[in-house]
Amino acid sequence: MDYFFFIDLIQSTVDGLLFGTTYALIGIGFTLIFGVMRKLNLAYGAAALAGTYIGLVVFLMFDAHPALVFLASALGSGLIGLVVYLCCFRFTPSNYPMASLLASVGMLLFIDEVVIHASHGLPYPYPSVFRDAIIELGDVWVRGDLLFVFFMCVVAMAALFWLLYRTPLGLATRAVSQQPRAAQLCGIDVTRVNMMTFGIAGVLGGIAGAMTAAAVGVLSPVIAMGLTVKGLIVVVIGGLGSIPGAIIGGLLVGAAENIFLLLRGVTERDIYVMLLLFIFLTLRPGGLFGSAQTRD
């Protein structure tokens, strides 16, 4: 292994770890919803993309500052998350989990088609910050835009942990996640907690979508499938229901993706990411931190 290849390998790993925080946010969103309701929301990635397009509309119509664009993306995705909850989860029978799962698949396809028709299936430039900033650490360069993406995602994760462990809503959310019937008997409105969980997860998805588009520089409808698939890979690797597992899984997938891009090129990158998933499913089916168990 020559010196220049070693530097390229370090560079790819650093870039992947920084960008992997976006995958971690998507994984956390999946984990939050599954942890509270024990159901997968497969429309989550599409809702995050739709919220990001709301931010893009704000940018194109008003030439808004990137901060306002990112805020509009997060809030828009949160509102769409609430719509997904009402349409796919609120009124479906709780004893038929396949009903909500298939409903979320239908919502994924619906949102995807709406976005494609609204955007004509074309990519659009998306605002970013610190794109021209470069921090040199010897022969390794750290991109300013990726560092900003990393910082914003870490702030979002810190805010989530504060919400979960320092607020009454967080206490109620953890109670519903552990014992929903007991929580209801204690006076906790389980329906409200479920709705708030979808809204919070939606905001995280909007931040992840906005940071993904900001790092790439463009927003395209094809991002939705990538967010969905990579998010599911993250939660499988980290363990369903584990937020620390989602964070570690996101960083691992981001680094592995960039390393495979360096070694095998863009056409084979996702193949090896899926291979990584199969390895985890074989060697550690419950993920790094184990999957959440069925509750009464």
User: Left if phi > 0, otherwise alpha if psi is -120 to 50, otherwise beta: which for 294?
Assistant: beta
State the greatest distance between any 2 C-alpha atoms of the chain, in Å, as a whole number: 65
- Tell me the C-alpha distance between 145 and 75, whole Å: 22
Quick one: pLDDT at residue 124? 95
Between 156 and 225, whose confidence is greater? 156
pLDDT average, residue stretch 219-226: 90
Query: Amino acid letter at 296?
Result: D
Euclidean distance between CA atoms 70 and 114, whole angstroms: 21
CA distance 251 to 243: 13
Helix or strand or coil: residue 143? strand
In 40-108 the beta strands, taken as DSSP E runs, fall at none
The pLDDT of 199-217, averaged and rounded, is: 96
pLDDT beyond 70 at 290: no
Average pLDDT over residues 246-273: 91
Each residue of 106-118: pLDDT tens digit? Answer: 999 999 999 999 9
295 pLDDT band (50/70/90 cuts)?
A: low
Q: Which two tokens stand for residue 207?
A: 């931040």
- Please tell me the predicted confidence (pLDDT) of residue 291: 62
Q: Report the DSSP beta bridge partners of residue 218.
A: 125
Could you give phi then psi for residue 124, rounded to 5 degrees?
Answer: -125, 145
3-state secondary structure of 210: helix
- Write out pLDDT tens, residues 75-108: 999 999 999 999 999 999 877 888 999 999 999 9
Supply the pLDDT for residue 132: 86
> What pLDDT does 127 receive?
94
Residue 286 has pLDDT above 60, yes or no: yes
Question: How many Å is the Cα radius of gyration of the chain?
Answer: 19
CB within 8 Å of 15: residues ≥ 6 apart: 143, 146, 258
Across 226-255, average pLDDT: 91
Residue 88 to residues 94, 108, 238, Cα–Cα distance (Å): 11, 11, 26
Residue 268 identity: E
Structure confidence at residue 192 (pLDDT): 95
What are the pLDDT digits (tens) for 3-35? 888 999 999 999 999 999 999 999 999 999 999
pLDDT > 90? residue 282 = no
CA–CA separation, 259 and 276 (whole Å): 12
Residue 294: pLDDT over 80: no
- What is the model's pLDDT at position 1? 59
- Which residues lie closer than 8 Å to 249 by C-beta, 6 or more apart? 23, 24, 27, 233, 234, 235, 236, 237, 238, 287, 288
Q: Which residue has the tokens 């909007």?
A: 206
Of 271, 196, 270, residue with least CA distance to 23: 270
Per-range mean pLDDT, top range of 121-130, 198-207, 285-294: 198-207
- For residue range 29-72, what is the model confidence (pLDDT) as tens digits? 999 999 998 899 999 999 999 999 999 999 999 999 999 999 99
